[in-house]
């Protein structure tokens, strides 16, 4: 039986230059009250690699890592009904106030989607913003998406030009 579930508050700050959007936290993330809380989800290891740092163990340190790198994080859905954790089970969704977040943090120049499901939901509710911002559809970091970690990381490297704490030798953003 599906139940109504709610997303978390966004992680965003004055340095945010890219907004990463997922669909809705999975069951384990909701239990932990942490974005990407499933231990097999590649999101946090990918972010640490892109930021050129060791993976922080504490969730608050992970949030700080994103903010220092210029990454904002949220979900397209504010709430929905879903049984389990699969995006394909999302129904009766209500979107988050993404336009308000973008107005609040005008330094955000691009929107990246953690998988095609997030992009699909975003375009359903905010198609005009896809014309205003650069959009990047990245491989899902979910353990249900069976690409290797290396292939996922390779796809997520498209974020590097937006990161303020990028590893040495990475190209600077030319905009």
Q: What is the CATH number of the domain that holds 18?
A: 3.40.470.10
Q: How many domains does the chain have?
A: 1
Q: Within a domain: residue 146?
A: yes
Q: Within a domain: residue 165?
A: no
Q: Within a domain: residue 171?
A: no
**Per-residue b or e along 130-168, where b marks 16 or more CB atoms closer than 10 Å to that residue's CB:** eeebebbbbbbbbeebeeeeeebbebbeebbbbbebbee
The residue segments making up the domain with residue 139 are 3-158
Q: Tell me, what's the pLDDT at 16?
A: 96
DSSP secondary structure letter of residue 168: T
**Closest CA relative to residue 138, chosen from 31, 52, 18:** 18
Beta-carbon neighbour count of residue 29 at 10 Å? Answer: 21
Q: Within a domain: residue 170?
A: no
Q: Within a domain: residue 72?
A: yes
Q: Within a domain: residue 80?
A: yes
**Tens digits of pLDDT across the chain (175 residues):** 567 889 999 999 999 999 999 988 888 998 999 999 999 999 999 999 999 999 999 999 999 999 999 999 999 999 877 776 556 666 678 899 999 999 999 999 999 999 999 999 999 999 998 889 999 999 999 988 789 999 999 999 999 999 874 443 344 333 3
Measured between alpha carbons, how far is residue 94 from residues 80, 120, 135 in Å?
Answer: 6, 14, 21
Q: Which of 41, 92, 96, 114 is catalytic?
A: 41
Q: Within a domain: residue 167?
A: no
Task: Confirm whether 92 is a catalytic residue.
Answer: no
Q: Within a domain: residue 145?
A: yes
């Amino acid at each position: 039986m599906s139940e109504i579930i709610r997303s978390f508050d966004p992680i965003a700050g004055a340095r945010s230059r890219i907004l990463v959007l997922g669909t809705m936290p999975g069951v384990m993330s909701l239990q932990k009250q942490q974005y990407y809380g499933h231990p097999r989800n590649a999101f946090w290891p990918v972010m640490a690699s892109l930021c050129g740092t060791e993976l922080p163990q504490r969730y608050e340190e992970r949030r700080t890592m994103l903010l220092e790198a210029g990454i904002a994080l949220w979900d397209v859905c504010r709430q929905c009904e879903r049984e389990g954790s699969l995006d394909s089970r999302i129904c009766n969704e209500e979107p988050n106030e993404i336009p308000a977040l973008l107005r609040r943090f005008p330094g955000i120049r691009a929107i990246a989607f953690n998988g095609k499901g997030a992009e699909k939901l975003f375009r359903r509710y905010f198609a005009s913003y896809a014309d205003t911002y650069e959009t990047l559809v990245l491989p899902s970091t979910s353990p249900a998406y069976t690409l290797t970690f290396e292939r996922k990381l390779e796809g997520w490297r498209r974020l590097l030009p937006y990161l303020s704490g990028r590893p040495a030798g990475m190209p600077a953003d030319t905009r």
